[in-house]
Chains A and B, each alone.
Chain A
């Protein structure tokens, strides 16, 4: 008796509590055009700056936004610590305070999140009405197709008018490479790093040849890219790994370089050799120091990231902090031309599915992307205090500016425009040469419009991600006594996880996609 009525009372209390919160959430969000300005919150990646410069900039920017769209902009940061989790759980939470979401198909799980319903589908009419300039520019270049799922709807706006190369590779020191006897101090083949690393190990006792931390796969990917014609399908990730490829020679057949061929074993054997030389810390998997700073401090012989980092900060920092170090960049796939131009959705902006004012959000986006004054404010800050334009028209910084403490940190990476960009004083002097060289050899990523239906293979991909996260880091650090046996074991486990089913499912989508375009 009592238990029943108690339960009923409890249930009533819960319902009451729930409905009050629900009601509280229903406060009017729509600011009428003439009324209060609407607050638009944009999710960006990065550590929230605390030097006050961001707030000062937003204050100025908001005066403009208020006048032009009766809206205010605020930024919400997903900080770098555990950013993958934070990003995905933030989207999962359906927080309706967020309106615009920075995303990317190759590093911010845009396809997964679009499929899971985190983003609002954007109708053409809506884009034409509220983001007309953006619509026109993206449409003129025919890039909307890059942002559609198999339901034919647009889910995000690509940062498609911004030149950058985010192909990865090794940064190393030309002075040390020369001393190691490498001709011209320039490494042209992946295996040449063995010579370089050995020299560093023997002659620079303070430094690790390549100080690297955490579960990485760069050494394997670098080898695979340079020794196969495998082309990774970026739409399909399994955990942090991208296990499905096509090959240039057979571009419409789905395969995996983790499953097929001997190259993975070769890569693993090279990694084992490097591990025995002592290229990285024995306990790299448990180490979590800042290895880039080690490189700047002359305590690491190499560092690994992409072209943009090399041009934007490595050259500048190394020239200042290690004079004469002659920083150089070897990019993966350099020896066989197996690397790609950036996909146009390496940065993209989505509208939150639960946003209370999606139209207003698009209006604001259209301004910060297409209005030069707003663009400069958001990206560079206030002229004179955050940046200066030098006499030769470059973007520079005021006297006494220290990028490590004074950075604006607005991190708007989802709508930058070449038209408004300037060369920076900190750019590598040979930036254009590097770009030209890359542009001449880089391949275009062919599969941007391929949409893979992952509903049925999601659990399989998750299981594969689990297997890969166990084996790949250990292979990359050369930790298995018998890499061949470990690879055989991994392949068996991937088979058990359902690799073949997943591959077949992706192949079906690939066939349909290729047929549609008359490619096969």
Chain B
């Protein structure tokens, strides 16, 4: 790919004599592979990963258009066109799932990045070396806690009969709250859990970016008599902008994906909360686990991939329009 583009650019150069540019890079394939063997070798694990987990299963998406049975297999099962999609659309389920998935991700991305940046800046401002290390470690910890445990902890905190929160409310003379029946409360709970889990980890990248800022900028700011707040506002934040945009683009690519483990362990099969908590992943999982329904779940999965793909292309196009250097491709 890289060589091709560079060839293209060479050819586009005015050559003066009108002759073709010597085709220096048009070496035989084997030769080029040989020249770049170390690079290619380093690519190999990633290539293998994507081939095995992303490209090889692609043909399986055909299940979404069939009335699948084991005997005839994926490609032999009767073709039914879009029938598997029909009810998903008619029942409004597809719209609900899309809406929930996207809204959660938007909240995760926006709040997540703001918190991560704030945290990185605060860490940067801490002068005591030990305190800085300890704070960093403590904020990092939740990332390593299994979501299964988070689900259990949440249940023990929030449940009606024995939960810690309701015990506290009752001790202070209030009426206990039926949190597991209030659909409206769960977006907040899920977002808090997600941020608690991921902020410490996410702030590392920003922290590293701050470390990488040219020290002379800080010195100049100090000479100009900038306050701490001004230093943050005029030096650090502008320097973080490219990092922020790259991370934003990466996360937009995953906007149709949810944090399945967290959602499933917090909500599970509690249908009372689906209206506000059901995302594409949990719905697909439930369809397979309790309904043995491979076709509809594949249909939803395929929809998720296509929609996500379109979204990434769109975002990248928009970014390219704004500033080509920030675009991913």
**B is a partner of A:** yes
- A116, B71: Cβ atoms under 8 Å? yes
- B271, A285: Cβ atoms under 8 Å? yes
Tell me whether B272 is interfacial, beta carbon within 8 Å: yes
Tell me whether A498 is interfacial, beta carbon within 8 Å: yes
Which residues of chain A have C-beta atoms less than 8 A from B291's C-beta?
A: 238-240, 462, 465-466, 469
Nearest A residue to B32 by beta-carbon distance?
A: A2
Which residues of chain A have C-beta atoms less than 8 A from B245's C-beta?
A: none
Of B32, B268, B271, B272, most buried by chain A (CB within 10 Å of CB) is B271
Which residues of chain A have C-beta atoms less than 8 A from B293's C-beta?
A: 239, 462, 465-466
Nearest B residue to A113 by beta-carbon distance?
A: B70
Distance of B274 from chain A, by nearest CB (Å):
6
- B180, A462: Cβ atoms under 8 Å? no
Which residues of chain B have C-beta atoms less than 8 A from A465's C-beta?
A: 290-291, 293
- A115, B69: Cβ atoms under 8 Å? yes
- B70, A116: Cβ atoms under 8 Å? yes
Which residues of chain B have C-beta atoms less than 8 A from A215's C-beta?
A: 269, 271, 290
A287 to B32 CA separation, bound complex (whole angstroms): 61
Interface size on A, residues (CB 8 A): 53
A298 to B149 CA separation, bound complex (whole angstroms): 28
With A282-B159, A459-B296, A496-B90 given, is the CB distance from A117 to B72 under 8 Å?
A: yes
The stretch of B79-87, B108-116, B222-230 in contact with A is B79-87
Tell me whether B215 is interfacial, beta carbon within 8 Å: no
Nearest B residue to A118 by beta-carbon distance?
A: B70
**What are the interface flags for B245-287 relative to A under an 8 Å C-beta threshold, 1 for contact and 0 otherwise?**
0000000000000000000000111111010000000000011
Interface size on B, residues (CB 8 A): 46
Tell me whether B62 is interfacial, beta carbon within 8 Å: no
Tell me whether B41 is interfacial, beta carbon within 8 Å: no
**What are the interface flags for B80-103 relative to A under an 8 Å C-beta threshold, 1 for contact and 0 otherwise?**
100110110011010000000000
A491 to B155 CA separation, bound complex (whole angstroms): 32
Determine the main DSSP class of B at the interface with A. Answer: helix
- B67, A458: Cβ atoms under 8 Å? yes
**What are the interface flags for A82-93 relative to B under an 8 Å C-beta threshold, 1 for contact and 0 otherwise?**
101100110110
Tell me whether A473 is interfacial, beta carbon within 8 Å: yes
Nearest B residue to A497 by beta-carbon distance?
A: B87
Q: Restricting to B15-71, which residues have a CB under 8 Å from any CB of A?
A: 29, 32, 51, 56, 67-71
Q: Restricting to A114-133, which residues have a CB under 8 Å from any CB of B?
A: 115-118
- A117, B91: Cβ atoms under 8 Å? no
Nearest B residue to A87 by beta-carbon distance?
A: B292
- B155, A283: Cβ atoms under 8 Å? yes
- A281, B159: Cβ atoms under 8 Å? yes
With A116-B69, A215-B269 given, is the CB distance from A88 to B287 under 8 Å?
A: no
Which residues of chain B have C-beta atoms less than 8 A from A214's C-beta?
A: 269
Nearest B residue to A456 by beta-carbon distance?
A: B67
Contact of B91 among A285, A459, A473, A493 (CB under 8 A): A493
With A240-B291, A286-B159 given, is the CB distance from A459 to B86 under 8 Å?
A: yes
- A117, B71: Cβ atoms under 8 Å? yes
Interface residues, chain A, CB within 8 Å of chain B?
Answer: 2-3, 5-6, 10, 14, 82, 84-85, 88-89, 91-92, 94, 109, 112-113, 115-118, 214-215, 238-240, 281-283, 285-288, 353, 455, 458-460, 462-463, 465-467, 469-471, 473-474, 479, 493, 496-498
19 residue pairs from A and B, CB less than 8 Å apart: A2-B3, A2-B32, A88-B292, A118-B71, A215-B271, A239-B290, A281-B161, A282-B160, A285-B268, A285-B270, A286-B159, A287-B155, A462-B87, A462-B296, A463-B87, A466-B296, A469-B290, A474-B272, A496-B87
Contacts A117-B70, A459-B84 aside, 20 further interface pairs with beta carbons under 8 A come to A2-B4, A85-B289, A91-B70, A116-B68, A116-B70, A118-B70, A239-B291, A239-B293, A282-B160, A282-B161, A285-B268, A286-B267, A286-B268, A458-B67, A458-B295, A459-B87, A462-B87, A462-B287, A466-B87, A474-B272
